[in-house]
Structure 1
Amino acid sequence: MVWSVRKACRSALAAGALLLASCSQGPSGPAEPRTEFNIGWSIYAGWIPWPYAQQAGIVKKWADKYGIKINIVQVNDYVESINQYNAGKFDGVTVTNMDALTIPAAGGKDTSAIIVGDYSNGNDGLVMKGADTLSALKGKQVNLVELSVSHYLLARAAESAGLTLRDIRTVNTSDADIVGAFSSPHVTAAVAWNPQLSVMKAQPSANLAFSSAQIPGEILDLMVVDTATLKATPNLGKALAGIWYETVQLMLRQDSEGEAARAAMAKLAGTDRQTFEDQLSTTHLYSDPKAAVAATTSPTLMTNMQRVRDFSFSKGLFKGTSSADAVGMAFPGGKTLGDPQRVTLRFDVSFMQLAADGKL
């Protein structure tokens, strides 16, 4: 299933990958200039443009323009793709904002988010049986993948109702088991993502009580690149931005070429055309670089990342630290969150800005 590869391993990410990440060291200086680069990706509707671009020759077109070679490499396991990035086998990787923060950045690997590609706009949701008000969560059991984006969504849902996670008992349930669990009589609330979410919503007496559409921009999907590599070869960032915007603009066209592109992407995602289209409908893709720049330079991004950071720290995802400020983040305009002397996650808007200005 397309979505499960992206998010199913979040418990493994929290329990195991962070240990590996904690051994990573940040770069001591700019990397040596190179001409060939490897970019990792895993299956998710918002990341399928990358392998399609390679298949369609768009990757080669932009790489040739900048005199480099880019290999878009699929990794079937999302957590493994991040592990390989941490180990230096990939120069960049597709990743969510929460995982970019809690794995490479928290582990000391200086990482730059150069493309804010999309945000979940209803792909993740909380479903309840026989109730549709969040106040009914108090004292309830909620099944979900713990220490995941689902856990974060539940925290935000509880907050909106004046509750905290202490008012709720969570039960760790894998994405493979979540639909079956919600079908049983004793499970009356659960958090999931598509396509599981759509199946659960269709069950008798099920109500969607909260979804990621109510927290737009908080669950982001990014293209991140090793900062030292990017400094040594900024043409890599330029080529990746060119690839992204040409491909996404093509896939969203409502003509025969756009339809053909989406059909090819559905095949790459291992699903049928209608299922892929349904997933796109709840994915807010930043196809316009100007919109991406606006979102990345907005104060809202810093606010959202503070929420994500505070949740992650509260759940022990910044191992070996005594404060959420131990991991520094840099934002456009010279703003920082956390320790400015230990910045390891940077939202670099420069390449999206070049695209917006037509200067790639």
Structure 2
Amino acid sequence: MKDLIYLDNNATTRIMDDVWETMVPYFIHNYANASSLYHSMGREANAAVEKARIQVAQALNCQTKEVFFNSGATESINTVLKGIYKNYQSKGKHIITVKTEHKAVLTTLQDLEKEGALVTYLEVDHTGKIDLSMLEKHITPQTILVCIMAANNETGYIHPIDEISAICNRKDCLYFCDATQYIGKFQLDLAQTPIDILCLSAHKLHGPKGIGALFIRRKSKPIQISALIAGGGQEHGFRAGTYNVPNIVGLGAAMVHIPHDDAIMQLRNDLENALSAIPEVYIHAKEVSRLPNTTSICFRHILASELMTHCPQLALSSGSACVSGTRDPSHVLLAMGISKEDALATVRFSLSRLTTKQEIYTTIILITAAVKKIREHSPIWQLFQAGLIT
């Protein structure tokens, strides 16, 4: 939509023109199966897949043989959690995660608990931060995996992945990091940060939907993860299925240019400063390290759904795209100790490198006017002003 201001980039980003242009030939001109190596078109498609693997590996500073393509982070999460649990039960059945993890993690672990997995869900404080000493305390000889994301998709809070990696390395425990929101905003050097397993999705960094990569570190004692999808033996037997050549090429192209864009943070700060001037508005996790494009703002005594309905010119969300269609409050905010009422009053704004200063200015005007209009007709707001509720 031409006039829509898109501020839901943590859900998905617009594919960049140069990325799309690299993909088009593999839809139209070279549409061969990359596993068909006995003719030139198939070999060319296969070479394109391997070029993309090199691009991903160079961006992460890892080896190409440590990179596996799949449909995205949700598939990676299922593959890793189920595969590790299946293969490491001789050591133990204990997995550690955080209450604010993505639903793909939490739901998969709940399923594994029904099969006998023992899962520790670490608490967080009001900013979303975990106590690293508690993480270390909970790791036992029976702990087979620590699963903690790099950055929260709702609040933008950045976990200290260097410290988490060091703890897991010291305690001889595997560390799996969902870096879906982190990659695309920051460079991550896997030669410096000893994460064992990491996943990402292209559509979070201006690439195509339906493609992602899973990094599995090569170690002297190989990490054992069973294939989630069996079939023709693609990806060295780790992930079967016909190669999605155009999307793989798009992922590689998107990984080539990962900016550290201070302009996004400045626009985010301008938005926060202006909207913070509205009475009874506060920003979740503002005082800690966050993604530069993300802000989660509570407009107290207003339903986020009502506020977004009053601003049809804005593309926003009330939390994760995977659950924002539900009426339940965000599990992330509830874990942070936020009340149900304030969680339901929270809107997530997530910018991208395509967001303009004019769009932020317009957003400020539209949100400010909508809050004022809703509160003018709100019995709840009148009760608050009268001091009858807090």
Fold match, TM over 0.5? Answer: no
What TM-score do you get using the length of structure 1 for normalisation? 0.27
- Select the structure that is richer in helix: 1
Choose 1 or 2 for highest CA Rg: 2
